[in-house]
Structures are given as C-alpha cells and as structure tokens.
C-alpha cells in the first residue's frame, strides 16, 4: 500500500502476536522484510537467531539500565524514549546504533517535542538511524487526532522517519514517511479489513455424550438442554487463550457448519452442542475461514490483537508455506 521508496518493516513483538516469532519472522523476511520491531530487549535474542545478522532489529521500549548486555549481544537498535534513556545509552560503550521515539500526542512512549528539541545536539551526536512516533487513533480514519499527530510529527522529527503502524498505513501516503511498521495487518486482523486470515485453530474432541432435556452442562449448571442433545467436549479452554468472557456468543465449526457453545468456558475444556451434525466430529475449529480473530474478539468483548496474543503454549503449531 506504500510506494516503492517506503520500507515496510514488520512488527513481531509478543512472539509475533502469539503466532511464534522464529517461523513468522523468517516468513516475513522471505517476503522482503529487512527491519523488525519488538517491544523489549528480551525479545531480540530469539529474533536475531531467526533472521540472522543482516536484519535490523528495533526495540520500542528503548534502553533500560538492565538491557546493555542484551544489546551488545544482539546488536539490536533501541528506540530511545526520554532524556534519561539518551543518557544511559550514551554512557555505555560499544552500543552501536539507536533510534529516537517522539511522543506526537499519544502520551505513552517517546520524548515530548520540547524535550527532543532541547536534546537535539546530543541526539545528533548519536546519529540515530530512525525517528519514529505512534498514532493513538489510526483505526478511526476520521479521528481528528490523526492529523494532529501527523502535524506534530512532520514538524518535529528529523532524519529517516516512521509514523504508521497498520492503521496509519491505511490512512494513506502522507502517513508513510520513510518506513511503515505494520503488525496486526500482517496477521489477518482489523483495522486491515482486507487482510486474509493467517491462523486456523482446530481443537480435538475428547468425548461426545447424550444429554437429556433438563440436564445441565458445565460449571454453574449455566446451560440446560431443552431437547435431547449431543454434547462434544473439546480440548482447549481459557488457559489456552479462549477467553472465558466469550461465553455462548462464540461458535465452533465442523467444516462449514456452526456449532454453539453449551455452558461456560472451562480452564482446559469447551462443551459444544453438536446435535445437528450427522457424525460426531474429530475436531472443531474455533478460528478459520468462518470465524476470524476479530469475530472471536467481538464475542469476547475484546480486540483481535488480544485473541492472537492470548493463544496459549499448549497448542501444537504447524506452519504452512513461508
């Protein structure tokens, strides 16, 4: 969506949004990504191992006093967020490159424009390879804070610049500067409405049983059969990131056929009404072509980002293509 002169970096923080940093970063590298962003220095050793020494690794949280050793080992680039971080970084020896993060209005990370101006000489001495900022409201294209932050960033940031994550990339060329930094859009999530799902989650059915009218299923006996039912018990629960709050609004899928949850989400199990299926299924899908991460997020009252990053460690992960 950006022009040929704009670099597209890839955000792979939080284990590539829960999908597995090594295979995901390698696939993105194969697709052309040369710069990768993570949230913390602790994420960089695994990333460096995955993508090798040719890639640039950036860290949003910048330079914390305990991070020096990791930065020396991985050659990652901290995004310095404050005068204190600039000082800590400058006092270290053998630290390599840095970037500068400006706060253009989100008030979360980065230097205020005045702080940035006051430090301009010291920052110039560090020769930062990138100056970045982050939009708070890019998923709402009409939100006035988008243009406000764009103006602050344009007027403040010097050198090579990056403002846009997924939402900002969709806002158009004025937001692209020299580099875009999409995350969620790479993983099939809103606000990139045209994104294709990249994750399918199939859950094994452990057992299936008949339930008679008046019998209840699950904790709190919160669901009661009105007619004779077949209930499938599926091996995954809120400990696997299937957020308990999704309640009975989420469905599981036997191929193209939706099956409603029956009863509460347990830690390790779901109970699903499969009465209308011709055969008992071996597996049921909770993420796939019929139910995206955003659909499941709606059911749970959250956002696709949280569904992805909650996906637990007990799943067997298979990577196709890339």
Ligand X SMILES: *Cc1c(COP(=O)(O)O)cnc(C)c1O
Which entry of 13, 58, 187, 238 is annotated as an active-site residue?
13
Rounded CA-CA distance 290/292 in Å is 7
* Contact present, 90 and 70 (Cβ < 8 Å): no
Which CA distances in Å does 281 have to 75, 204, 255, 271? Answer: 49, 9, 9, 13
Q: Which residue has the tokens 């950006």?
A: 2
Nearer to ligand X, 19 or 232 (CB): 19
Quote the least distance from Cβ 188 to ligand X, whole Å. Answer: 11
Nearer to ligand X, 113 or 189 (CB): 189
Nearer to ligand X, 13 or 251 (CB): 13
Which CA distances in Å does 200 have to 10, 20, 179, 247? Answer: 21, 14, 30, 20
- Nearest to ligand X by Cβ — which residue? 183
Tokens of 69: 């050793």
Which entry of 71, 219, 226, 319 is annotated as an active-site residue?
219
Residues near ligand X (CB under 6 A)? 11, 13, 60, 134, 165-167, 181-185
Quote the least distance from Cβ 81 to ligand X, whole Å. Answer: 10
34 is in an annotated binding site: no
CA atoms within 13 A on the CB side of 136: 16
Tokens of 8: 């597209």
**DSSP assignments along 137-195, one per residue:** STTSTT-HHHHHHHHHHHHH--SSEE---HHHHHH-GGGTTTEE--SGGGGT-TT-TTP
267 is in an annotated binding site: yes
Which CA distances in Å does 89 have to 40, 62, 75, 116, 133? Answer: 15, 9, 13, 15, 19
The secondary structure element, H or E, covering residue 10 is: strand 10-11
Nearer to ligand X, 34 or 290 (CB): 34
Nearer to ligand X, 137 or 239 (CB): 137
Quote the least distance from Cβ 165 to ligand X, whole Å. Answer: 3
The secondary structure element, H or E, covering residue 282 is: none
13 noted as active-site residue: yes
Quote the least distance from Cβ 207 to ligand X, whole Å. Answer: 39
The secondary structure element, H or E, covering residue 202 is: strand 201-211
* Contact present, 75 and 57 (Cβ < 8 Å): yes
Quote the least distance from Cβ 246 to ligand X, whole Å. Answer: 21
* Max Cα distance, the chain (Å): 77
Nearer to ligand X, 134 or 176 (CB): 134
Quote the least distance from Cβ 174 to ligand X, whole Å. Answer: 17
Catalytic residue numbers read 13, 219
Residue positions forming the annotated binding site for substrate:
108, 267
Residue positions forming the annotated binding site:
108, 267
């Amino acid at each position: 969506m950006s022009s040929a002169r704009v670099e597209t970096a890839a955000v792979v923080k939080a284990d590539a949004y829960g999908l597995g940093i090594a295979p995901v970063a390698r696939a993105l590298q194969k697709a052309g990504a040369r710069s990768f962003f993570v949230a913390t220095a602790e994420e960089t050793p695994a990333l460096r191992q995955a993508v090798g020494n040719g890639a640039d690794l950036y860290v949003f949280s910048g330079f914390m006093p305990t991070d020096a050793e990791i930065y020396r080992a991985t050659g990652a680039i901290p995004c310095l967020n404050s005068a204190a971080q600039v000082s800590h970084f400058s006092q270290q020896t053998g630290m390599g490159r840095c970037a500068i993060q400006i706060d253009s209005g989100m008030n979360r990370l980065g230097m205020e424009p005045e702080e940035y101006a006051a430090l301009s000489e010291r920052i110039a001495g560090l020769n930062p390879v990138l100056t970045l900022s982050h939009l708070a409201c890019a998923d709402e294209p009409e939100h006035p804070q988008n243009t406000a932050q764009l103006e602050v960033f344009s007027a403040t940031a010097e050198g090579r610049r990056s403002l846009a994550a997924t939402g900002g990339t969709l806002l158009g060329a004025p937001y692209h500067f020299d580099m875009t930094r999409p995350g969620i859009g790479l993983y099939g999530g809103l606000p990139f409405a045209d994104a294709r799902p990249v994750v399918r989650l199939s859950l094994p059915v452990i057992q299936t049983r008949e339930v008679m009218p008046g019998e209840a299923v699950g904790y709190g006996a919160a669901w009661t059969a009105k007619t004779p039912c077949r209930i499938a018990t599926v091996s995954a629960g809120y400990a696997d990131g299937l957020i308990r709050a999704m309640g009975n609004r989420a469905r599981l899928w036997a191929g193209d056929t939706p099956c409603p949850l029956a009863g509460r989400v347990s830690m390790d199990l779901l109970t699903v009404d499969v009465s209308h299926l011709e055969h008992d299924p071996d597996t049921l899908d909770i993420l796939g072509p019929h139910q995206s991460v955003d659909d499941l997020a709606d059911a749970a009252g959250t956002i696709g980002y949280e569904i992805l990053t909650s996906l637990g460690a007990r799943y067997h992960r298979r990577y196709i293509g890339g």
